[in-house]
Chain A
């Protein structure tokens, strides 16, 4: 990594130490037929804490917490575009930037935006643009800045980013067609195929030889994602019943994917209620 001359300099390179677990350490595996948080069912989401108005300088702001996933979002705009020479456009633009704090993940992240963050920023812009009435502010730009303070599962981060950005946009008073709720799910195999029955960690009975139907874990956390075969993140507009973005990775059968999309849509409707509640609370606060 090039030395960043604009920051207080540390050593040229550093690594995290190797973690050695004791012999009797039993990490969580999905083969115990329970989720990492044993109180959760496969279709349960983590409780969401959503609050607006924490950044006074921003036009709109929101903060979301899904237990250990914490994101803040600040929305600035509509404000005039700096370079007006780019040609007149009768639609405004939406610019989204997401940044993981260096301490947000188990392995320390770099201070400069890396490719993953740039890709995520694109995904967020694509998922939020259909919901915002950009034709109402030509020659203007809305900037959405998201900082991930703590990350517990990549899918849940992306989903929470959609949710927090929509709430912040609404808090800023930017007209939208609908709020965008985000939800994630992971496909996790909960049993080992019979060919590996000699494995000593297997406790669950094995399914038919070869094919394992993975279970759909809604809102998977970091430990559960380690075992996933694939995952899906859905951005959905609940009132209009339209999906703005789907991001599916890994391998899964078509039936599993359509089932998980249905689960995600149901979950998004629940998240929508939480988003509305947070926005109504912020209006009550303003009245006071």
Chain B
């Protein structure tokens, strides 16, 4: 007697054997959402979306949406750095953007992304913190840069970093006057070059993230949430506006050869150029 053959609808097959379902596409050089293996999802950047913030930006990479707002406040500087201000980036992954995140304190992923972005901003010396000094030893500016993920569909690092850089580019802070322990700024009227200043960013790093699939030796650009969950590892390449590397992060158990790394860096260069063009269009 012949053994019955099992047939599944595509959606059932995807649930039962996600990796195999995926492999059927990648061997043909495409992915389930129709993209080529090295294609990034359509990206949009909008500036100045939140009027209560000193500066803001919204970045959409496919289904991932991040809104970043910058708020400037005044604080006492650290004792060992009396003329330096603070730059405090944070990424919020709330339960609203995906069911992966539970309510409560930031998840490990949120902490990891926040720390990764903090490292990029600090080590690349994007902003000279001395520019944020108001009165040495007494008062400095604190820039709280909060990126809130509104919708999550993978690749939060690229979207959050792009939103943070887009917001930092346009920060406008009122010029402060220091008077007997209080900081005063002028109110009313619109912010102009006379009563406010913008930040002088030394570098503008942007990133491109790739997912690694060990068994099939494929590299996918800009993984979405399904691809992230079945990938074996990820590489993020961060480059500044001159094409110099600001950071390379490889996480996960997958291994990749040097030629693969070089290909990723080349692809990242093209992607970050494209991203800068999108950011300056607005």
Contacts and interface: CB of A to CB of B under 8 A. Distances in A.
A149 B106 contact: no
A108 B86 contact: no
B153 A14 contact: no
B73 A15 contact: yes
B90 A7 contact: yes
B90 A101 contact: no
Nearest to B68: A103
B140 to A, nearest CB: 8
- Most central of A8, A15, A145 by chain B CB within 10 Å: A8
Given A54-B65, A103-B50, A146 B96 contact: yes
B152 A17 contact: no
Interface residues of B, number: 56
B101 to A, nearest CB: 10
Interface in B7-66: 49-53, 56, 63, 65
B187 A73 contact: no
A18 B185 contact: yes
A68 B49 CA distance: 9
A108 B73 contact: yes
Contact of A13 (B70, B71, B75): B75
- Interface residue tally on A, bucketed by range: 35 or more
A54 B150 contact: yes
Given A15-B73, A56-B151, A104 B111 contact: no
Interface string A78-113: 010000000000000000010101111110100100
Contact of B56 (A6, A10, A22, A103): A103
A11 interface: yes
- Most central of A56, A61, A70, A103 by chain B CB within 10 Å: A103
Contacts of B182: 18
Contacts of B146: 101-103, 111
B106 A7 contact: yes
Contact of B183 (A8, A17, A72): A17
A145 B99 CA distance: 11
Contact of A150 (B50, B75, B94, B150): B50
A6 B50 contact: no
Contacts of A111: 90, 92, 146
B152 A10 contact: no
B96 A8 contact: no
A18 B183 contact: yes
Given A14-B73, A102-B146, A20 B65 contact: no
B97 interface: yes
Contact of A14 (B89, B105, B142, B151): B142
Given A9-B88, A72-B150, A17 B176 contact: yes
Given A15-B75, A18-B184, A111-B90, A57 B152 contact: yes
Interface string A119-134: 0000000000000000
A76 interface: yes
Contact of B96 (A10, A21, A58): A58
Given A7-B114, A14-B74, A143-B95, A25 B187 contact: yes
A113 to B, nearest CB: 9
Interface of A: 4, 6-22, 25, 27, 54-58, 61, 68, 70, 72-74, 76, 79, 97, 99, 101-106, 108, 111, 143, 145-147, 149-151
18 contacts: A7-B106, A9-B88, A10-B75, A10-B86, A14-B75, A15-B75, A21-B188, A22-B188, A55-B150, A56-B63, A101-B92, A102-B71, A103-B56, A104-B50, A104-B69, A108-B71, A145-B95, A147-B96
